[in-house]
Each structure stands twice: as C-alpha cells, then as structure tokens.
Structure 1
Amino acid sequence: MTDVAIRKLHARRIWDSRGRPTVEAEVTLSDGTVERGIAPAGASRGTREAVDRRDGGKALGGFDVQGALASMREEIAPLLIGRDPFDQAGIDAALIALDGTPTKERLGGNATVAVSLAVLHAAAASRGLPLWRYLAGEEAVMIPLPEIQIFGGGAHAGRRTDIQDFMVMAPKAKSFAEALEVTAEVYIAAGRIMAERGLLQGVADEGGWWPAFSSNEEALDTLVTAIERAGFTPGEEAAISLDIAASEFGKNGRYVLGLEKRELDRDGMAEYLLGWCRRYPILSIEDPFAEDDAEGLRLFTAAVGDHIQVIGDDFLVTNVALVEKAVLDRSVNAVLIKVNQAGTVSEAKAACEAGRRAGFGTIVSARSGETEDVAIAHLAIGWHAGQLKVGSFARSERMAKWNEVLRIEEALGSKAKFAGLGVLPLGARTSSSALGNVAL
C-alpha cells in the first residue's frame, strides 16, 4: 500500500519529429511529483496495432489530435484520479477496459500510451529511481546491442527504395560506447560516399541518409563500401541489419518492387532475399514477408534461422498472443517491441517477456515519428530486452535515446554488462563473418 496517489492529468498537444501533432500526458502525484509521457507515431503500421486517434479534415493535414486530447481530459482523467501510480498493470487494464476496442481506436492509442508512459515515469520519479532501475528492481541489467540506420528507405523516405531500413550492428563491440563509435564511422563514411557520387540529398524520417539509388542492391553495396571505408571488415566489426517492411509492398503472397519495377510471388521474394543473405554480411532481417504471409515467414525462418535473426514487427504488433503463436509456429525468431503499437506499457512488457521466455530476440524500438521522450532507452535495459532500435545516428530525437544509454552505461561503471552478439537467437553465437556466405 502507498499514500501516494494520482492527483491530476493534464493533456497537451505537442509536435513530433515530423512536425505533426502528438499528445503529451502530464501526471501530477500527491507527493508533488510531475512527469510526462509522449506518444510517438509510425509511418509503416501493422493493421492490428493500436490506432492513433486523429481528427481528419483539412487542418494540419488531418493529423490533429483534439479528439485524443478530449479523451484524456473527459474520460481518462476521471479514471486516474486517486489511483495508485505504482499499480501500472491495474491502471493499464483500466485504460484497456475504458476504451473497449481491440485497437484502442475509441480513446486513441496515442492517448492511452502517453498516459501509460506518464504514469510509469511518475512512479519511478516518486521512488527517486532511474526508470530502468525502477523496472528492473534489484536484478542485474544488460546494456542493449544497438541497431542503427545508415540509409532510410520505404515509407520513411518517399519509397525511394523498397527496403525501409539499411542498418548496421557492431557484433564485436565490447561496450555500447564502442558500438556507437563504430556506427559513427560508418555513418560518416556513407555520407562522404554519397557526396562523392552526387547522391547526397539530405536525411530521411529517422535521420539515415536519403537514398538516391537505382536499385535496392546498390544501397547494400554502398553500405558494404561504407563499412570498408570506415576501416572495418564487413561482417566482423560491422554487420548489416535490414527492415524490409514487406507489408508496405506485399499482399496475398505478391510483392511489388517499385524501385525495380517488377513483381515477385512468395517463392520469388524468398529467393530474392536469400540471395542477399548469401552475398552480404546480414545479421538480422525484420518483416521479410508481409504480415498476411505467415507461411512465407515460416519457410524463410526455417531456411536462415540458425544464422540470421528474423524479426516480426507488423506481423506481431507487440501483441503477446501473436508472439506466443509465432513461438509455436516458428514463423520468426525475434520480436520488435513498440509501446505505442500495443497501446500501454503493460501490454508491451508482456509481449517482451513472452519473447524472452521463448529464447526469441527482443528488440525495443522507436517509431519514425519520434519525440524527446527517452523512455524506450530505459525500457530496453529495465526489461532485459538485449537490443535497441532507435533510428539513425543523427537528429536529436534519436540521439537523445542513444545518449541516454551512454549515461546509464557510464553510471553502472564496472557493473555494466554489454549485450553483444550473444543476445541474438542464432545457432552459432560466434563471429558474424560467415553469415553473408552461408549456404541456404
């Protein structure tokens, strides 16, 4: 029991990294603690994830959030007042019941996630604890292995490439700080290569270089060249991670590659991606098939699963029931965790825990429309996720989160344990150098 209670909820419209409206929840506790939570927004979205409540119409491109703010003021605030802020599960269950829809569409997933995060921040602050420590309790924690975007594509860059994220991971890094240094060198080298070729056209939504390539393979070739230019061996100090986001261009077993102006069936898409796995040092692939193509995912994971992490994002939408089904079906071997995709902190935590129990890779992730809220850096550590995906090595809404992990690693000192390659669900947890040439 506690004498601390929620005294006030203030709903505020603020702006995300794309200059679109979003909602901020500010929670005041009876002990004077005041903390905030902010809802991010995705561009590529699974059909089963929590739905943002947007106003539509002409104003602000239809993205205004006055309806979501009204939900917070008129329905959620009365629900919260007087409640125990340390009962996160109870508060989130009450939000879910109040909304009453599978995808939070009535109140708005943006409203529920902002409130859920604000309560979590306030509870940790009231106890005088960093959020990661509040979540982990007395347990030892692990600093996550980062996946960091170098080129942004797909829905994050006007569909200039079919593939959404071309990222690097540092499998041999001994610390988070070292992993960021490796990434910084690759990011700088990639920008210089683009400039030399007359292809430098700014950055995409998540801060990765805007792709100006003639094919998807050209982006991969350029990324390998950037790794080499930075002084690293591809697949050793720096390996490739891809977010295919196949639901954006695939449906009913058919995949339309706009950049290359061709259409592939499931088998053709499989061979397309398996060819990349043979030729490039790929360590991780997210959503290689569309969310409605569970069979494609299952077959692909069976082919590469001992060598490559296969992540479900749109396919699993941070839903514990879908994660548990994927464990039984062996359709993927890793799950992306996005709090706003679930709509509450507790639901996202349940999905993460289900993945960890099954030996899946678990990756806490940001969204393309981000904010200065650094909660996900703490969630990745406090939930023992092992991996963190924030976007690129540019733009302050991204760097705020990378820098927050740096501070936590420094604060832990000799107790800091960096995740490294061992957190990936691979059969052979050794060097990634052979991954690009594995026989599939």
Structure 2
Amino acid sequence: MKITSLHAREVLDSRGNPTVEAEITIDSRFQASAIVPSGASTGEKEAVELRDGDLQRYKGKGVLQAVGHVNGEISYALLNKEIPDQAALDRILIELDGTPNKSRLGANAILAVSIAFAKAMALARGIPLYAQLETHDTYVMPVPCMNVINGGRHADNSIDFQEFMIAPHRAHSFREAIRMGIETFQTLKEILRKKGYVTAVGDEGGFAPNLSSNEEAIEIILEAIVKAGYAPGDDISICIDPATSELWEAGRYVLFKSMKGSLSRDELLDLWVNWVRQYPIVLLEDGMAENDWDGWKMLTQTLGNEVELVGDDIFCTNPSIFQKGIEQGIANSILIKLNQIGTVTETLQTIQLARQHHYKYFISHRSGETEDTTIADLAVATCAGHIKTGSGCRGERIAKFNRLLRIEEELGHRSRFAGKQAFIFS
C-alpha cells in the first residue's frame, strides 16, 4: 500500500496546550488521523516532546516545529512510498530522526504519524484498529481504573499523592464495570459536598478537594464505595499512583503539598506496607521514584507477592530500560504510554517483553489528553486487562470509555471481562 497524502496541524489537548494532529491517506482512499497527548509529571527518559519555546505563542508550548517536520521531512520520506506494515513505517521514522530519544523530529510528530498509519491500515483492511494491532480469537475487556481523587501535580490542593483510583472488577462485562465506577464516582461527589469539600475536578476528571491527609482520600473513597452499594475489596478495589518522582529530592520524599516534612525510602516503604495491608489496594504505581532503584528493589522484595507494582517513570515504556529493570527484579508490572516511546511498534515490543517475563502491563492515558481513542483499542488488542484513562467526567476521558463500550458490543461473545484476575496478586 502507498501513502498518498500526509498532513499535520497544531491542535489543542484537554489542558488547552498545543499538540500535533496528523492525517494520512493510503492509496488515495483510506484516510485516518491521530492526535498525540501530553503528560504533566513526565519521566526523565521519555521520548522528547518537541515544543517551540517561542514565548510569544502559547507561552512557549507551541508545536509548529513538530508540525513542520511532519509536513516537510517526514512527508518527503513517506509520500508515494509503498509501506508494507507498521514495523516498516516506524523503522523509517526512527532512522529518519536518528536520535535515541526522538529529540530531532519530536516524538509528538513521529507518534502522530505512527498512529494515523495504523488507523489507515485498519480501514484499508476493513477491520477495527484493535484487530490491526493484534489478532485474537477472544479479546479481554479491561477493568476501568478510574481516577476519582486527584492530587500532586494534577491538582491545586493539599494532597501529596497524584492519583487515587477505583477498580470495579466484580462485574460480568465492561459495561457493568463502568456503571459501578460511575455510580461510585457520583456518590463520592455527594459525600464530598456534604462534608463541605470543593467538588471541582483536576486534569483527569477526579475531584481535587483539600483533605486533612493523604489517608483521608482512601477513607472517603471507601465510604463512597459502601454508600454506592458495593463491597470494598470484593466488588471495587483501590489503585494508587503517588507519582513519587515528583516528591524525590536529595534522596528523600518531600510531602510538598501537605507540608508534613519528608520521608526516607524506608519510611515510605513502611507507609506502603501499612496501606496495602490495611486497605483493599490491588495496584501501586510508581511507589518509588524513577532514580531510586534501591528503593524499588526494596519495595518489590517486600510487596512484590502481595500487590501489582507498576513501573511508569522508571521504565518510560522503553524496552531497553525495561529489560534492565527485569534483570534487577524491579516491579512486577509496567505502565504503557504510547508517547513515552513514540511509535506503535516500540510500544507493542515493550508489551511483548512484559509477556515474556510474566510482567503485567497497564495501558494509560496522559493528563493532557485528546479525543483520540487509540488507547482503548490498544488495551483490547493486547488483552491488557486494565486501563486508566481518567475519571467519570470530562469528554476526553469518557471518549475512551464509550469506545470500549462499542468494542464490547461489537465483539459480543468474542470478548470476556478481565475481572479481578487483571491484577496479579489479589
């Protein structure tokens, strides 16, 4: 098949920041587009998101250079070329950029083209995107891990830890699970309002109240689960992403929002052990900072047989970094974000590496999201078992849930809901 047109433009993400959209046409008939998201708390080793730095436009966050690379150098390399498959396209893009972190052309430029090509190929073959990414006789619908309370860099409040999620896993279908999650989310809003807390939401749609402590976030979520008519731990469990790399400073973890001092890695480990054994927590993401490998080893040795320990910033969806983590016994799961690595092929390679070494993989959005629903298809395609894409509100989050509802209906008996088995040690 031949790429007959390629065009990019500057559009906006859910925070109103510029990002890249690419449109690609194959054989003059099959046109598809993709929009790239953007993170706020990003890992140091992520593929580089190219920003213009022109303070006269969008306070320096414009992406006209990345757009120009798509419309210029990348188009010249791809137009009227016969590209046999996704791997071939992504190899061209990687070699064209020529840097280890896609810093020359920009990962945002490269990923927009990579995803758009995958979508166009699916159209050309007359199949859904999830089937283009991977083909299975039966697909697994993911547990929606819904970020119902925001803190950290994602909200202007007093909570140090970034994400408190609910995982409605005791359901027969995704449709039922998302209903359970939405009911709990709406009940949580009622409880917060009655307690006099603000019910404004953060970047990912979760509530952002000023609570008295980080622990209160868990307690109030458990209250909402019960009041919604569900059993904590049996019907709905809790997942946490404290984003500890944002707290890491001079070898300690600074609780910079609650102003309650700092913790050593031993003290933070004690906190996680107490929480995991006191509360129905099934998943802990980024329990230690990306540069605290010793802390990660301690955490994995202590809790690695009790809870899913997800590496995000420490791995950055990068297969070479992930391989080092596997060799050193770091975590038992990896977070998957397309824009951390920059191509569809490398993302799928990282997932395959996780499978080979019996790690779980957790598909994720970014805090600066778009209406693009690719990650919903990715979660189904790879049978990941769980996905996080925000809370029970905000259109860019709900778009992914709606896409999953449509996929489940389309698959019918060819799908099953992951349930509590989505989490390793629960």
The answer to whether the superposition gives a TM-score over 0.5 is yes
Cα–Cα, structure 1 residues 293 and 384, in superposed 2: closer, same or farther, change >3 Å? same
1:337-388 per-position Cα deviation (integer Å, ceiling 9, x unaligned): 1001111111111111111221111111110101111111111111222221
Alignment partners' CA distance in 2, 1:201 and 1:384 = 34
Q: Which residue of 1 aligns with 2:423?
A: 424
Contact (CA 8 Å) 2:4, 2:28: kept in 1 or not?
no
Q: Which residue of 2 aligns with 1:196?
A: 194
Cα–Cα, structure 1 residues 415 and 229, in superposed 2: closer, same or farther, change >3 Å? same
Alignment partners' CA distance in 1, 2:228 and 2:365 = 26
- State the one-letter code of the partner of 1:27: I
1:139-197 per-position Cα deviation (integer Å, ceiling 9, x unaligned): 43211122111111111113631111100112322211111111111101110111111
The alignment status of 1:146 with 2:164, answered yes or no, reads: no
Alignment partners' CA distance in 1, 2:50 and 2:326 = 31
Q: SS of 1:11's equivalent? A: strand
1:92-132 per-position Cα deviation (integer Å, ceiling 9, x unaligned): 11111111222211111111111110111110011111101
- State the one-letter code of the partner of 2:368: G
Identical residues among aligned pairs (%): 42
Q: SS of 1:102's equivalent? A: coil
Alignment partners' CA distance in 2, 1:407 and 1:418 = 14
Alignment partners' CA distance in 2, 1:49 and 1:406 = 31
- State the one-letter code of the partner of 2:301: A
- State the one-letter code of the partner of 2:294: E
The alignment status of 1:123 with 2:128, answered yes or no, reads: no
Alignment partners' CA distance in 2, 1:175 and 1:251 = 43
Q: Which residue of 2 aligns with 1:263?
A: 262
Q: Which residue of 2 aligns with 1:29?
A: 26
Structure 1 unmatched ranges of 5 or more: 427-431, 433-440
5 Å matches for 1:3-152? Answer: 4-58=1-55, 59-152=57-150
Structure 2 unmatched ranges of 5 or more: none
Contact (CA 8 Å) 2:332, 2:360: kept in 1 or not?
yes
- State the one-letter code of the partner of 1:167: M
Alignment partners' CA distance in 1, 2:139 and 2:415 = 8
1:231-268 per-position Cα deviation (integer Å, ceiling 9, x unaligned): 11211111100001100111453100121421111111
- State the one-letter code of the partner of 1:109: A
Q: Which residue of 1 aligns with 2:292?
A: 293
Cα root mean square deviation, aligned: 1.4
1:45 positional shift: 0.3
Larger deviation, residues 208-217 vs 7-16: 208-217
Alignment partners' CA distance in 2, 1:328 and 1:241 = 26
Alignment partners' CA distance in 2, 1:9 and 1:158 = 40
Alignment partners' CA distance in 1, 2:335 and 2:76 = 33
Q: SS of 1:326's equivalent? A: helix
Q: Which residue of 2 aligns with 1:400?
A: 399
The alignment status of 1:178 with 2:155, answered yes or no, reads: no
Q: Which residue of 2 aligns with 1:329?
A: 328
- State the one-letter code of the partner of 2:315: L
What is the TM-score when the length of structure 1 is the normalising length? Answer: 0.94
1:273-299 per-position Cα deviation (integer Å, ceiling 9, x unaligned): 212112211110000110001121121
Cα–Cα, structure 1 residues 38 and 308, in superposed 2: closer, same or farther, change >3 Å? same
1:303-330 per-position Cα deviation (integer Å, ceiling 9, x unaligned): 1122210000001000112222222222
Alignment partners' CA distance in 2, 1:90 and 1:42 = 27
- State the one-letter code of the partner of 2:202: A
Q: Which residue of 2 aligns with 1:356?
A: 355
Contact (CA 8 Å) 1:85, 1:120: kept in 2 or not?
no
Contact (CA 8 Å) 1:252, 1:292: kept in 2 or not?
no
Larger deviation, residues 149-158 vs 36-45: 149-158
The alignment status of 1:415 with 2:414, answered yes or no, reads: yes
Q: SS of 1:391's equivalent? A: coil
Alignment partners' CA distance in 2, 1:253 and 1:177 = 44
Q: Which residue of 2 aligns with 1:247?
A: 245
- State the one-letter code of the partner of 1:8: S
Alignment partners' CA distance in 2, 1:138 and 1:225 = 39
Q: How many residue pairs were aligned? A: 424
Q: Which residue of 1 aligns with 2:337?
A: 338
Contact (CA 8 Å) 1:52, 1:108: kept in 2 or not?
yes
